[in-house]
Amino acid sequence: MTIRAYLYDADGTDHEVDLSDQILTSLSDRQLLWIDVIGKDEAEIEQVGRTVHLHRESVKNLLNPIGRPRLDQFEKYFQVNVVAIEPARTGDKPGFVQIPLDFFSGPNYVVTTHAEELKFLRDFDDRVREDSGLGALDSASFLAALLDWHITSYFRVLDEFEEMVDTLDEEVLLHPNDREFLEDLVKLRRRVGQLRRLLAPHREVFSGLARPDFHLLVGEDAGAQFRSLDDRFERAIDAVENARELVIGSFDLYMAGTARKTNEAVQILTIVTVSLGIIGAVAGVMGTNFSVGFFKSGATGFILMLAGMLLLIAAVLLFAHRRRWI
């Protein structure tokens, strides 16, 4: 487990600090402490809990995650539980893994805890360097910024997903006979369904943060940011629904290509059947027992019969070509 404490100082230099039980008492209104915890070590979680005076229920939730998005208010802080996603490879296809993420926001501090490294938190940390001015923010506004990056991570996964669908559409158009496309479409459908089920329960959290009564706790400035955050979350939900429609459209495209190929095969089989029928009809006529002089014409008559068959078949093929069946 790793604990990283970073102090944003609007009147000085942003820098890492050592975590101590008295660190909160030395913070001013122009300073903001971010404590990022990676892992689930019980002793260190309890240490962080003592440092920021977390309620025993919060510590219990960290040690035994509730497993779903949730918003809780306590006397001096509020807790937000969400599920973050990290890019991963599923075979040779990009995918994602789920990682529970907990936020605690209190006077002049924000705590983030997660079992594994999170790319969007690393990106945020890399983007914000010394003398950032973030110390002037209150903890709720800083939390809103982190949650915004959290939602952005979903959009990044959706961008990768839509790129996969576009690539698959191109392959379907170029190689419509490839049966493996159906398996790929099923996997994409399952993945977008998983993403939707993962994102949908967060609606309770983001709508709760945007409630007017919650703004009384965090202030109007942070309240406006949470309202914008709720709107952006709804756009993420819409983007997931759009991705689902893209997969359905890809399936329709695949089925259209399959139907076209089936029609072409039926047309060819029809032409072959008609041609064989002509041969059978001619052979049947020539095999009748009527005494006609043509039947006694020997090799010449046989050649004329074959020529007649070929001419009839050629006429059928010409007709099929004019109708664009072949």
| 305: its two tokens | 């019969």
**Rounded CA separation 226/148 (Å):** 9
Got the DSSP string for 120-159? Answer: HHHHHHHHS-SS-SGGGS-HHHHHHHHHHHHHHHHHHHHH
The superfamily in CATH containing domain 1-135 is CorA soluble domain-like (3.30.460.20)
Q: How crowded is the C-beta side of 203, counted as CA atoms within 13 Å?
A: 9
pLDDT digits (tens, 9 = 90+) for 280-294: 766 666 665 555 565
Q: How crowded is the C-beta side of 310, counted as CA atoms within 13 Å?
A: 6
- The gap between the terminal CA atoms of the chain, to the nearest Å, is 68
Q: Mean pLDDT across the chain, nearest whole number?
A: 81
Domain boundaries, the chain: 1-135, 260-322
pLDDT digits (tens, 9 = 90+) for 68-102: 899 998 988 999 999 998 877 555 565 678 899 99
pLDDT digits (tens, 9 = 90+) for 40-75: 888 889 999 999 999 999 988 888 877 789 999 898
